[in-house]
Amino acid sequence: MKTVKDVMTSNIRVCAPHDSLTTAAQIMRDVDCGSVPVCEGKKVVGVITDRDIVINVIADGKDANQVHCHDCMTTDVVTCSSTTDVHEAARLMAQHQIRRIPVVDNGELVGICAIGDLAKENIYVNEAGAALSEISEPDHYSH
Set out the domains of the chain in order of their start, with CATH numbers: 4-136 (3.10.580.10)
- pLDDT given for residue 95 in this prediction: 86
> How do residues 3-33 score in pLDDT, each as one tens digit?
999 999 999 999 999 999 999 999 999 999 9
Partner residues linked to 100 by β-bridges: 114
Q: 50, 34 in Cβ contact below 8 A?
A: yes
- For residue 51, the model assigns a pLDDT of 93
Instruction: Name, in order, each residue with C-beta under 8 angstroms of 106's C-beta and a sequence gap of 6 or more.
Output: none
- On the CB side of 13, how many CA atoms lie within 13 Å of its CA? 16
pLDDT at 97 over 50: yes
- Among the listed residues 4, 31, 27, the one whose alpha carbon sits nearest the alpha carbon of residue 113: 4
Q: What per-residue confidence (pLDDT) applies to 120?
A: 72
Say what the pLDDT of residue 98 is: 87
pLDDT digit string, tens, across residues 114-140: 988 887 765 443 444 555 555 454 444
pTM (whole model) above 0.85: no
Average pLDDT, the chain: 86
Q: Are 3 and 98 in contact (CB under 8 A)?
A: no
Residue 45: pLDDT above 90? yes
**Residue 143: pLDDT over 90:** no
